[in-house]
Amino acid sequence: MSTAEKTRPAERTRAADRERKREPRIADEHGRRVRGWELALRYLLLLGVLALTIGPFLWQLSTSLKGPTEDIFSSPPKFLPSDPTLHNYERVADTIPVWDYALNSLKVAAANVVTNCVGAALAGYALARLRYRGRRVATLVFILAMLVPVEGIIIAQFTTMRELGLNNTLVGVVLPGCVSALNVLLMRNAFLNLPYEIEEAAFVDGANVWQRFLRIALPAVKGTLAVVAIFAFMGAWDDFLWPLIVLSDPSRFTLTIGLNYLHGTFANDERLVAAGTIIAVAPLIVLFACLQRYFFRGVGEGAVKG
Amino acid sequence: MASPTLTTGTPDARKGGGARRVRRQLPASPWLFAAPGLLITGAFILYPFVSTLVNSFTDRRTLVPGEFVGLANFRELLHDDMFWIGLRNSSLYVLGVVPALVLLPLLLALLVQKNIPGITFFRSAFYTPVVASIVVVGLIWVWLLDERGLVNSLLETLGGSPVGFLSDQWLILLSAMGVTVWKGLGYYMIIYLAALANVPRELHEAAAVDGAGAVRRFLTVTVPAVRSTMVLVAALSSVAAFKVFSEVYLMAGPSGGPAGEDTTLVMLVQRTGTGLTGRVGYASAISVVVFAVTVVLMLLVLRADRKEDA
C-alpha cells in the first residue's frame, strides 16, 4: 500500500479533503466537491426520470379524483381535477366488492408473511446450524426448487391443487409460495454468518435446540427476517398469474384479479379503474416508504444471491 | 477446548460433539425444523415440475386422466400456428427488452450514485414501479396509451396525430416491452448500485489523469468493472422476458390482441391448460419448451461471458 499512497490519486484526495474543510460544499461519496453545473445537470436528469417514473401514478390518481362531469379526455390534458371528489371510490365499491377483494389480498399477504418467516427461519436454521445425515440433500432440494421457473409448472400446480380439493380457495392461493426456497436460502445465509460462539455459551448452559433457535439465533437475524417479510407481503399482494389460474369464483378474488375483472367489464369508465388501481397500490407505496431502508439492502442481497 | 461443541457444519465442530449432542438434540429435530419447507417445496414445486415433464407425454385433460401418447404433443406443436406465434413473440420480447434492461438501469445507477441532497428520495421514487403490482402498472399504461389517453393527447397538443398503441399488433408488443422496461428499471438499478460501490475509484482517477472524458471513462472503466453484473442482469432479464405473461395479457387482452397475434408462450400455456376443458398434456408440452429455451438462454449468456474473458 505504501507505494499506492505516493501516487497522484491519493494526493488529489488529500487536496480535496483540505478543500472541503475550507469551504463545506456538496460532495460525492469520495468526499470530492461536485461542480455547480454538473450538479444542476444531475438534478435536471433526476427530475426528468422522476416525472417518467412517478408521473403515471400521479396521472392515475388525478383521473380517479375527477368528477363525472369533467372531461378526462381533454386535449391539452388537464392534470389537476377542477373539482376533486372521492365519488369514484364509492362507485368502484358499488360496482365490484373492492373492499372484500382488498381483505382477501390482505389475508393472503398476511398468511404469506407468517408462513414464509416461520418456515424459512426454521428450515434455514436446520440447513445452517444443525448437523445431520442428509443435510446436503435438503440444501440441494431448496436450490433446485429455486431454479424451477414458476410459469412452467403452473398448470401442474393447478392440477395438484385440484387433486387436493383446494382450487378456488384462498388457501390454494397461499400454499405454493408459502415457504419460498429463495427465502429459505436467504435465512440460511443469515444464520451461517452468525458468530458461532454466541450459541455455544447457551449450549454449555444446557439450552436445547429450540431454545437456542428462538432465544439466540432468531433475534440475531431480525434484519434478514424483515426483508423476507417485506418480500413475502409484496409478492403475495402483487401476484397475478397464479390467483388468476386458481381462483374462479368472483367472490374469492384477490385485488389484482378483481381489478383485471373490473377493467374487462367496465373498461368504458376509466375513473373507476383508476380508483381501483389507487386502492391497490396505495398500501404498498406507504409500506415501501416506511420500510425502504431494509428494502434496498434486501433487494441488493437477494438479487446477488438469487 | 473443554466445552462441548455445537453441531454445525464446520469440520472442527465435528470433533467433541459426540455423546453430549445426543442428549441435547433429538435426532429427528433437524428434520422437524426443515419439514415445513421441504414438504411445501416438494409438494408444490418439485412434484409439479416432475408431473409437468410426465404430463407432456400424455393427453391428460383437466377432468380426464390421460394416457401415454409419446411425442404426439410435441409433434402437434410443430404444426400449431399459435405455438409458433407464441415462440416468436416471446423471443422478440427477449431481443427487445434485454438490451434496454442491461444498459438503462446502469445509466440510472450512475445518476443516483452520488450522495447529493435528496438522493434517497429519488432512489425510492425510481423504485416505485417495481413495488407496484404488474396489474396496476398494466392498467395505468393501458389508460396512458389509450386512443384518447394522456400520451395521445400530448401528441395531439404537439401537433401530431393519435397513435394506436393498443390496436396494432406490433405496437401492442412494443408498448408491452416498454412497460416491462419501465417496471424493471428500478430493480436492476439497485443491483448495479451495489456493483458500482465496489468499483475502485483509483481506476476512474487514473483514467481522468490520462485525459479520458466521461464517456470514455464509462466505456473503459465502468463497463469492464461491472461486466459480471451486466451478465447477471442479462441472464435474469432474458429469462424473465421469455416468460412474459402479465404485461401482454393486460395490454393485448386475454385472447392476445388482433387474431391472437400477440400471444406469448406463457399466455398460451395459461389459455390451453386451464378451465374445465383444459388440455393439461398439451400445455405441459409447451411448458417443457419454455423450460428448455430458458435453460438455453442461460447457457448462451454464460457462454458469452466466458468468451469475453478469453
Across the interface, whether the CB atoms of A240 and B55 are under 8 A apart is answered: no
Return the residue in A153, A291, A304 with the most chain B beta carbons within 10 A, the one to mutate for interface testing.
A153
Name residues whose C-beta falls within 8 Å of residue B300's C-beta, 6 or more positions apart in sequence. none
CB pairs under 8 A between A and B: 321
What's at B176, amino acid-wise?
A
The ipTM of this complex is 0.85
Question: In whole angstroms, what is the distance from residue A125 CA to residue A217 CA?
Answer: 8
**Each residue of B273-289: pLDDT tens digit?**
988 889 999 999 999 99
Q: Supply the mean pLDDT for chain B.
A: 87
Instruction: Please identify every stretch of chain A with a pLDDT value under 50, giving residue numbers as ranges.
Output: 1-7, 20-24, 300-306
- At B67-87, the pLDDT tens digits run 999 999 999 999 999 999 999
- Residues facing residue B58 across a β-bridge: B68
**Pick from A122, A127, A300: CB nearest B36:** A122
Cα(A220)–Cα(A280) distance, integer angstroms: 34
Q: How far is B222 from chain A (nearest CA, A)?
A: 16
- Do B37 and A142 count as a contact with CB atoms less than 8 A apart? yes
pLDDT tops 70 at residue B185: yes
Please judge whether A156 and B194 are an interchain contact, meaning their C-beta atoms are less than 8 angstroms apart. no
Give A213's DSSP letter: I
pLDDT tens digits along B205-257: 888 888 888 888 888 888 988 998 999 999 999 999 999 999 999 999 999 99
The residues, ordered by sequence, that sit 6+ positions from B304 with a Cβ below 8 Å of its Cβ are B231, B234
Within 8 A of B289 by CB-CB distance, chain A residues are none
Q: Cα–Cα distances in Å, from A39 out to B85, B118, B205, B238, B255? A: 48, 12, 19, 35, 49
Name which of B25, B125, B232 is nearest A209 (Cβ-Cβ): B25
Task: Identify the pLDDT of residue B309.
Answer: 55
What is the pLDDT, as a whole number, of residue A24? Answer: 45
Q: Is B283's CB within 8 Å of A131's CB?
A: no
Q: Among B4, B132, B139, whose Cβ lies nearest the Cβ of A273?
A: B139
Q: Which residues contact A92 (CB under 8 A, 6 or more apart)?
A: A98, A262, A272, A275, A276, A279
CA-based nearest distance A260→chain B, Å: 7
Contact check, Cβ <8 Å, B33/A148: no
| Contact check, Cβ <8 Å, A56/B287 | no
Q: Which residues of A touch B42 (CB under 8 A)?
A: 141
**A123, B33: Cβ pair inside 8 Å?**
yes
Whether the CB-CB separation of A280 and A103 falls below 8 Å is answered with no
Task: Say whether pLDDT at B306 is over 80.
Answer: no
d(CA A116, CA A109): 10
Calculate the alpha carbon distances from B124 to A290, B129, B149 in Å. Answer: 11, 10, 27
pLDDT over 50 at B10, yes or no: no
Q: If you search the block for the grid coordinates 408488443, which residue do you land on?
A: B173
In angstroms, the CA B32 to CA A244 distance is 33
Separation between Cα atoms, residue A260 and residue A263, nearest integer Å = 5
Tell if the CB–CB gap between B46 and A148 is shorter than 8 Å: yes
Residues whose CB falls within 8 Å of the CB of residue A293, separated by 6 or more in sequence, listed in order: none
- If phi over 0 gives left and psi between -120 and 50 gives alpha, with beta otherwise, what is residue B64? beta
Q: What is the tens place of the pLDDT at every residue in A93-107?
A: 888 899 999 999 999
Q: Please name the member of B25, B29, B143 whose beta carbon is closest to the beta carbon of A60.
A: B143
Residues of chain A neighbouring B131 (CB-CB closer than 8 A):
234, 284-285, 288
CA distance B9 to chain A (A): 6
Q: Which of B55, B23, B44, B8 is nearest to B280 (CA)?
A: B55
pLDDT at A291: 80
Q: Spell out the residues 6+ positions from residue B4 whose beta carbon is closer than 8 angstroms to its own.
A: A203, A204, B16, B17, B20, B21
Phi, psi (deg, nearest 5) at residue B68 = -65, 125
Q: CB burial class (10 A; 0-12, 13-18, 19+) of residue B117?
A: exposed
Gap from B162 CA to chain A (nearest CA, Å)? 11
Secondary structure (3-state) at A170: helix
**Shortest distance, CA B163 to any CA of chain A (angstroms):** 15
Helix (H, G, I), strand (E, B) or coil at B259: helix
How high is the pLDDT of residue B15? 41
CA A129 to chain B, closest CA, distance in angstroms equals 5
DSSP E strand stretches across B44-163: none
Q: What is the pLDDT of residue B8?
A: 44
Q: Do A270 and B31 touch (CB under 8 A)?
A: no
The answer to whether the CB atoms of B112 and A132 lie below 8 A apart is no
Please report residues of A whose CB lies closer than 8 A to that of B45.
145, 148, 153, 176, 181
From chain A, the residues in CB contact with B132 under 8 A are 57, 238, 281, 284-285
Sketch out chain A's domains with CATH numbers: 36-84 (no CATH), 97-299 (1.10.3720.10)
- What pLDDT score was predicted for residue A53? 95
d(CA B201, CA B212): 14
Q: Is A16 exposed, middle or buried (0-12, 13-18, 19+ CB in 10 A)?
A: middle
Q: Which residues of B touch A243 (CB under 8 A)?
A: none
Q: Across all residues in chain A, what is the average pLDDT?
A: 84
- Model confidence at B190: pLDDT above 50: yes
Q: Point out the residue among B24, B30, B52 whose CB comes nearest to the CB of A132.
A: B30
Bridge partners for B116 per DSSP = none
Among B125, B135, B278, beta carbon nearest to A54? B125
- With b for 16 or more beta-carbon neighbours within 10 A and e for fewer, the A23-60 pattern comes to eeeebeeeebbeeeeebeebbeebeebbeebeebbebb
How near does any CA of chain B get to the CA of A242, in Å? 10
Interface touch A210/B113, C-beta < 8 Å: no
